[in-house]
Amino acid sequence: MADILLALEMIADPLNLLGLVFGVAVGIAFGCMPGLSVNMGLALLFPLTFSFKGVGGILMLLGIYCGAIYGGSISAILLKTPGTPASVATTLDGYPMATALKQPGRALGLSTMASTFGGIFSTVCLIILAPQLAKVALQFSKPEYFALAIFGLSIITSVSSGSVIKGLMGGLIGLFLATVGIDAMSGAVRFTLDTTYLLGGVSFIPVLIGVFAFAQVLGSIEDYYHHKVSGGELAIDRVIPSWSDMKRVFVTLLRSSCIGTFIGCVPGTGGDIASFVSYDQAKRWSKHRDNFGNGEPEGIVASESGNNAVSGGAFIPVLTLGIPGDGATAIMMGALMVQGLRPGPLLFVEKAPDVYAIFIGLLLANIIMGVLGFSLIKLFIKVVKVPIHFLLPIITMMTFVGTYSYNNSLNDVYLMVASGCLGYVLNKLGFSMSAVIIGIILGGMVEQNFVGSLIMSDGSFAIFFTRPLCLFFLAAAALSLCGPLLAKVWGKKA
Amino acid sequence: MLSMALCNYIVSIIGGAIGACIMAAAASFPMDFTENGPGPGFWPFALGLCLLLAALVLAVTTWTERETLEKTKVRLIAAANKRVYVMMGLAAVFCLLISLLGFYVAAFFLIIAVMRLMDYHKKKGLFITACAALLFIYLVFGLLLHTQLPGSVFLE
């Protein structure tokens, strides 16, 4: 109880509350502008977290995370251009409702209500499930942690990238980058190219801003050449959903929230998968399945509650096991580590007030998102229409300033530009940047637990194959990596 | 446009070369097992080996699926990409100009250059956007967060 009171005290700090509201508003703005992404918003504002005390910066990032997933639905509904991949399914019914049925307010209201419900539902699941899972994870030792990290990496590389091998190569490069600097176990100085800059390792934040923000800027410049987005004028009617709509969509809302929360728990998945699975299930079970694709309220609600429910689910493996599920949660995990909070089961024992503050913060972020969504929807519609040729130069400057302000180092800026250019090319070639970032984040944990396990076993690799949980995670990792290949062989035989 | 198959072969060669380089660099560190576990070269050597193997697997799978991958095109040298490369060049020039002209002056030119790159040429709009962006950066980072952005060498 004392921990919860301490957490409430942290949240009640006016600066932290302001950060949370600011984060949600910025997140919605980033989400609703096509060409900007959740990861970009998180990466760009990451350096601002150092200006907050304690978990204040994390709360701001939580706000951005929740707000951006929801924000994607605004442009999906009004422009048929989803602001984030998670909102692609929302265009299927949102855009017809806004244009063919001439009810944009109804569509936006349903999406706001569904997003808020999905987010709150998954946060409640996180609050209930995470401490229980952390208790189980407390039994883990070094070999289990090593196997778990390998499993997390394998599933991310196999799901998040178009090609398993390319995902794996990205993850391996990330793991290698994490070895640069002073080795924590032996004290040896590795791969620093005789520079003092690399003694502390490859700086995580410039790489993060480079591959997620600067590379995205480059991608947007390319997209702008092909497709200049311009929205038509739509008059907004009432945005509060009617009672008949609420009754019609309630079961879909619950089902999709459960699906989104479950999918969010699985590393390597994300809002896009959750929204499509939720949409598909809603269509399968609906009495109005023939209306799907023509502005069906259940279609909007399924997609939006599904993708926002991912937010709470995705934090379960991050907080309890220290395994980020995608790029966004990897950034959040990086922010936690920078603030001295090492995600994992011990976090629940050593820093319980901070964990409760994160829980309450996520809950509040979803509530604030709903309030802002209903009250300021007309403002966000204006944001959707800000021309990208005004936005991109400013965002480009923010990538430079954000990177420089982290360490007051121009070397960081050079690293950011190099990572961004490389990230752009690798994105074109089908590599997953999330795999690289997750590799960098998990690199230290993987190596230390690998070495620690071998010390425990006097150098015998049998330790990884004789402990049941460890063997289970390693077998699951092998299966997830070889799964696509086996599926192909199986398909050919059939 | 390049085919994905060709790109994959190039990636395999580069990936394999990076893997081999990592192995060679890691081999200069001790790898034997002691009471403190394996030497500091062991883990990076294993990563380099895995990268080399993954590059080989990529080359083999590209060969087996070459018919499909030949049809998949990668846009890397189209007109839109050339704009991206110009943007990369602008970023590189900006990095050089920061220490020469100072952050704010270099940023002013970069914002205008990026907007012109995106086909926006109205002088008033260019000037107002650049000034507004710099004012925002000064207020948030300079005044609020006390970030000392780089100044010009001529003013030192």
Per-residue tokens: A440: 């960098």
Q: Which of A98-102, A200-204, A228-232, A343-347 has the lowest mean pLDDT?
A: A228-232
Whether the predicted pLDDT of A267 surpasses 90:
no
Between A256 and A99, whose confidence is greater? A256
Q: Are A60 and A45 in contact (CB under 8 A)?
A: yes
Angle between helices A297-321 and A327-338 (to 10 degrees): 40
Residues of chain A found within 8 Å of residue B84, distances taken between Cβ atoms = 218-219, 221-222, 424
| Confidence (pLDDT) at B129 | 93
Q: Are A231 and A281 in contact (CB under 8 A)?
A: no
Whether the predicted pLDDT of A494 surpasses 70:
no
| Confidence (pLDDT) at B47 | 96
Probe site for chain B from A45, A158, A185, A186 (most B CB atoms < 10 A)? A186
pLDDT tens digits, one per residue of A29-66: 888 877 677 888 888 888 888 888 778 889 999 999 99
Whether A195 has its CB under 8 Å from any CB of chain B: the answer is no
Whether A262 has its CB under 8 Å from any CB of chain B: the answer is no
pLDDT tens digits, one per residue of A140-178: 889 998 998 888 888 777 666 568 889 889 999 999 999
Across B4-29, b (16+ Cβ under 10 Å) vs e yields: bbebbbebbeebbebbeebbebbeeb
Residues of chain B found within 8 Å of residue A400, distances taken between Cβ atoms = 94, 98, 107
Whether A15 has its CB under 8 Å from any CB of chain B: the answer is no
Whether the predicted pLDDT of A232 surpasses 60:
no
| Confidence (pLDDT) at A41 | 86
Mean pLDDT of A324-329: 81
A vs B: CB pairs below 8 A: 162
Cα A289 from Cα A298, distance rounded (Å): 9
pLDDT tens digits, one per residue of A386-427: 888 888 898 899 899 989 988 888 999 999 999 999 999 998
Per-residue tokens: B61: 């799978």
Instruction: Look over chain A and give the mean of its residue pLDDT values, rounded to a whole number.
Output: 86
Instruction: Look over chain B and give the mean of its residue pLDDT values, rounded to a whole number.
Output: 91
| Confidence (pLDDT) at A180 | 95
| Confidence (pLDDT) at B156 | 65
| Confidence (pLDDT) at A491 | 67
Angle between helices A104-137 and A297-321 (to 10 degrees): 20
pLDDT tens digits, one per residue of A439-452: 888 888 899 999 99
Per the DSSP assignment, residues forming a β-bridge with A189 are A182
Q: In Å, how far is A19's CA from the nearest CA of chain B? A: 14
pLDDT tens digits, one per residue of A79-121: 777 777 788 889 889 988 988 888 888 999 999 999 999 999 9
Q: Are A70 and A31 in contact (CB under 8 A)?
A: yes
| Confidence (pLDDT) at A453 | 92
| Confidence (pLDDT) at B78 | 85
Residues 141-180 of A with CB under 8 A from B: 163, 165-166, 168-169, 172-173, 175-176, 179
Probe site for chain A from B43, B69, B124 (most A CB atoms < 10 A)? B43
| Confidence (pLDDT) at A311 | 87
- State the Cα angle at B151 between B147 and B156, rounded to 5°: 130
| Confidence (pLDDT) at B86 | 95
Interface ipTM: 0.93
Cα B19 from Cα B6, distance rounded (Å): 20
| Confidence (pLDDT) at A133 | 86
Cα A178 from Cα A104, distance rounded (Å): 48
| Confidence (pLDDT) at B25 | 95
| pLDDT above 90 coverage of chain A, percent | 32
- Indicate the domain borders of chain B: 2-74, 79-155
Ranges of residues in chain B with a pLDDT under 70 are: 156
Of A185, A390, A428, the CB nearest to B36: A185
Confidence class of residue A306 from pLDDT cuts 50, 70 and 90? very high
Q: In Å, how far is A484's CA from the nearest CA of chain B? A: 12
